[in-house]
């Protein structure tokens, strides 16, 4: 015997007091229209009626898809230049009504509310707008979405009844489930709701970050710091094979020179240690204005040189410590040309990173199957990343400004009887720049725009000075010396004098400064103080 079905305005039907759905409804209001036309067509094919607003409705109509305007449901037009469209009980009642609650069902009927099964919504491009160089504050404010986040959160709260889709990449999965099962699974709805909450949380955090920077001052640290990260890729492992790892990008970080924006052109998958070393190598190379090549091993430069040509810089950088360079990371602050590529290809290199490559250079480097070739882009040259520097500790973060300051000639102070020659002064500035990127305690010997010996990361500064001489095979006569921090004792100056160093650059500031100055004067060494140290832990 057939049961009679009573239809209620095309929305619900009663079968012996039970509510059965007659029509299915999808509310679509998106800024990012990627894949939207196909998604909407497939929903229509599955029996959905589409409710839409503003630009989304216009877009779908232009694609030949029939939609019902939100204004027809609310009986109100879009107001205040589109600021108010979906903020209405007829919309949010259809999103938030619990279809398992008899009271809610009565109110749906009483107020003639359209209950939504799917809500597809993504938000105004606040991040995109505030990432531009010349955006205005007014543009930023107008791109703070209100109706969108409200719909997203409401749908996520009622995910038992509503599938909320914020990511166009999820359209296909929904259509497949609907076509196969006639409904969207509980697990899928829960996962979509979680993604929706992440979406609005990240959106709000970007707004807070922007307003904090504007209102609390660019040079100050906000009272609360939101760090938004999105995964770029999973890594095979971390620093060691027993550690799991992944590579993340910081959302909202602006400016060129970000390793996260490097494009891999060739080679094996990047490892955790590759990425850490790339950062160290690129930052050091990009510090210098002249064509410069840096070779890094375990985050420390083992060879740095500048020259008129990149190939000359590479040869000099390699000559500093060819043993350590094996299996290292090569960074250049200029486009890699054919001659440089030929030289690099003769060495086993894990990664080469540069702004760009000539076609012939790229062909030569690709001849080495496993070398990872990374491109930073021409706009990154001499533009260091200026975002906060984070250091993880258990239970929190240490946050600081990056150490990107250049040293000016007017900032140094000659403290010895002899002043450096012009050639020495140029090498002192070069060695000081390199020392900034070497782990403390740091001693760098340099001459003619290249490193001769580098001593890194020792508990005692004199140990670093001795290791740097050993790296230089004892050949440091006529070099200059840079120290990242002051000399607590005159022992480094005494060692430098015996080795034939002619000039020293250091921060100064020790209570024993005069002892070091006296030793320098006795040896005829020129010494300058910078008043600034470069600890790198």
**Nearest CA among 162, 493, 449, 459 for reference residue 319:** 449
Return the HEC string of 94-151.
HHHCCCCCHHHHHHHHHHCCCCCCEEEECCCCHHHHHCCCCCCHHHHHHCCCCHHHHH
CA gap 294, 283 in Å, rounded:
9
Inter-residue contact 509 to 453 (CB < 8 Å): no
Sheet arrangement for strand 18-21 = 6-8, 12-15, 18-21
From residue 176, how far is each of 113, 186, 306 by CA, in Å?
28, 15, 58
Residue tagged active-site, from 41, 157, 173, 366: 157
Catalytic residue list contains 157 = yes
Residue tagged active-site, from 24, 41, 268, 298: 298
Residue 399 φ/ψ, nearest 5 degrees: -125, 130
CA angle 357, 359, 361 (to 5 degrees): 60
Query: Which pairs with CB-CB distance under 8 Å and at least 24 residues apart come from 75-84?
Result: 78/53, 78/54, 82/54, 83/146, 84/147
User: What's the burial of 338, exposed, middle or buried (CB within 10 Å: 0-12/13-18/19+)?
Assistant: middle
CA gap 450, 301 in Å, rounded:
12
CA gap 103, 209 in Å, rounded:
42
Q: Which two structure tokens, joined as six digits, stand for 424?
A: 């020495």
Q: Which residues does 73 contact at the CB level (< 8 Å), separation at least 6?
A: 51, 88, 90, 91, 94, 114
Inter-residue contact 468 to 504 (CB < 8 Å): no
DSSP string for residues in 340-398: HHHHHTTS-EEEEEES-B-HHHHHHHHTSTT-EEEE--GGGTT----SPEEEEETTEEE
Q: Residue-wise over 259-279: b if at least 16 C-beta within 10 A, else e?
A: bebbeeebbeebbbbbbbbbb
Catalytic residue list contains 368 = no
| Residues annotated as part of the active site | 157, 298
């Amino acid at each position: 015997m057939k049961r009679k079905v009573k239809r209620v305005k095309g929305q619900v039907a009663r079968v012996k007091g039970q509510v059965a759905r007659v029509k299915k409804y999808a509310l679509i209001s998106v800024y990012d229209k990627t894949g939207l036309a196909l998604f909407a067509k497939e929903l229509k094919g599955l029996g959905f009626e589409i409710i839409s607003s503003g630009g989304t409705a216009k877009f779908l109509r232009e694609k030949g898809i029939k939609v019902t305007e939100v204004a027809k449901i609310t009986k109100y037009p879009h107001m205040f230049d589109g600021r108010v469209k979906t903020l209405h009980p007829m919309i949010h009642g259809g999103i938030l009504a619990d279809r398992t609650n008899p009271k809610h069902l009565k109110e749906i009927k009483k107020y003639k509310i359209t209950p939504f099964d799917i809500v597809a919504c993504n938000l105004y491009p606040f991040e995109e707008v505030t990432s531009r160089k010349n955006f205005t504050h007014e543009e930023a404010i107008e791109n703070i979405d209100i109706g969108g986040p409200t719909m997203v959160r409401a749908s996520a709260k009622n995910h038992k009844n509503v599938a909320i889709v914020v990511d166009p990449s999820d359209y296909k999965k929904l259509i497949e489930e609907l076509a196969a099962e006639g409904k969207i699974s509980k697990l899928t709805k829960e996962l979509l709701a979680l993604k929706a909450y992440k979406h609005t949380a990240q959106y709000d955090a970007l707004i807070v970050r922007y307003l904090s920077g504007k209102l609390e001052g660019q040079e100050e640290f906000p009272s609360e710091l939101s760090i938004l990260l999105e995964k770029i890729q999973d890594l095979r492992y971390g620093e060691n094979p027993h550690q799991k790892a992944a590579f993340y990008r910081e959302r909202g970080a602006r400016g060129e020179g970000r390793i996260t924006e490097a494009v891999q052109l060739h080679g094996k998958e990047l490892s955790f240690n590759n990425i850490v070393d790339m950062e160290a190598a690129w930052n050091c190379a990009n510090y210098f204005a002249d064509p410069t090549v840096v070779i890094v091993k375990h985050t420390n430069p083992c060879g740095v040189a500048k020259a008129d040509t990149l190939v000359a810089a590479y040869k000099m950088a390699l000559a500093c410590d060819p043993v350590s360079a094996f299996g290292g990371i090569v960074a250049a602050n200029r486009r890699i040309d054919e001659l440089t590529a030929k030289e690099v290809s003769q060495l086993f290199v894990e990664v080469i990173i540069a702004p760009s490559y000539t076609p012939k250079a790229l062909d030569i480097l690709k001849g080495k199957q496993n070398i990872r070739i990374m491109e930073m882009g021409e706009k990154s040259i001499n533009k260091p990343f200026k975002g906060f520097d984070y250091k993880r500790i258990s239970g929190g973060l240490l946050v600081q400004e990056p150490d990107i300051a250049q040293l000016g000639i007017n900032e140094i102070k000659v403290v010895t009887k002899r002043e450096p020659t012009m050639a020495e002064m140029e090498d002192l500035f070069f060695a000081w720049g390199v020392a900034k990127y070497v782990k403390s305690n740091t001693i760098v010997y340099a001459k003619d725009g290249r490193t001769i010996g580098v001593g890194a990361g020792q508990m005692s500064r004199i140990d670093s000075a001795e290791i740097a001489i050993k790296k230089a095979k004892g050949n440091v006569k006529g070099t200059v010396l840079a120290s990242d921090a002051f000399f607590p004792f005159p022992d480094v100056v005494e060692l430098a004098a015996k080795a034939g160093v002619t000039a020293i650059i250091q921060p100064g500031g020790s209570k024993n400064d005069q002892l070091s100055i006296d030793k320098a004067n006795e040896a005829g060494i020129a010494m300058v103080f910078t008043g600034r140290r470069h600890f790198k832990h």
